[in-house]
Structure 1
């Protein structure tokens, strides 16, 4: 199976998630390309597309949204899986639960254009340098923590589901 893992990143965290998904799919003997959405000219050569974006202000990055809109017809004829990289695990308890609800909003945005087989929200890397001083202060007041919150095992499990999905189910 030919798979495209296309992604939009702001700080590099989503690149790491996309590359890890690609590695899992390659280990399962799939032919995989992992590319930034800006480097993708079309999806016609692929059976499956895994599309992901960093989340800023509870939205995908503009380049990911543009890619999705521009490739809508072609994506509708392929198996599409979607993932988002945000910061839910940078928060504790109730704040984390509230931030995780962004997955539902993101999925609604994606579904307005196409119907992915599945959508997954992963946590990424949150660094102080990503925020202006006042946003850092608000983030900390809300219980936010800085660090690398990517869960490699969760990414591997999700990519494994893609790899194991029978062709007829795509």
Structure 2
């Protein structure tokens, strides 16, 4: 029987979705059944044996769809293996050191007994939605700071943990 994994995400401009898709792809390579879905589109997590939830960081908060997802499905998430990730720093800091979860994510980790949290670098490209995003880009502080090798390695650790059970 294959382990069925949900990778749910909250994103505004799509870069967190790309991280979630990469995680799901690595898990599938490890022989698991995995799908990445927008957190707001998930009605029920009962069909999943394990869950990964990610959200972009905006002004020190997880994306609203990720926050709502963990609140709405909290009881079910607490009953299965759970990992959390954030994406956000628009600099290389996430690849250089461990960045702790923001306070709201830390509370969710404790409440839901999440196995791990990691912060990945963010990505902000031309055409991004939102006034703040446009200001960041106008000031030359955009770019892609995601370390795909770090993301793949983290996903592989999750896959390894799920396949050895």
Where does residue 19 of structure 1 map in the other structure? 21
TM-score (norm 1): 0.81
Unaligned stretches of 5+ residues in structure 1: none
The Cα RMSD (Å) is 2.8
Contact between 1:125 and 1:150, CA under 8 Å: does it hold in 2? yes
| Match for residue 4 of structure 1 among 3, 6, 29 | 6
CA distance in 2, matches of 1:134, 1:163: 37
* Distance in 2 of aligned mates of 1:85 and 1:134: 18
Unaligned runs of 5+ in 2: none
4+ residue stretches of structure 1 with deviation over 4 A? 128-135, 166-169
Q: 1:115 aligned to 96, 113, 116, which one?
A: 113
Q: C-alpha displacement at 1:77, in angstroms?
A: 0.5
Quick check: which one's helix share is greater?
Answer: 1
1:61 Cα deviation after fit: 1.4
Counterpart selection for 2:160 from 158, 161, 164: 164
| Residue-pair matches, total | 160
TM-score calculated relative to the size of structure 2: 0.83
1:154 corresponds to: 150
Q: Of the two, which has the highest radius of gyration?
A: 1
8 Å CA contact retained: 2:99, 2:118:
no
- Alignment deviations for residues 25-54 of structure 1 (CA, whole Å, 9 cap, x no partner): 000010112100111111111111000011
- Pairwise mapping of residues 83-98 of structure 1 onto structure 2 (< 5 A)? 83-89=85-91
How far apart, in 2, do the equivalents of 1:132 and 1:58 lie?
13
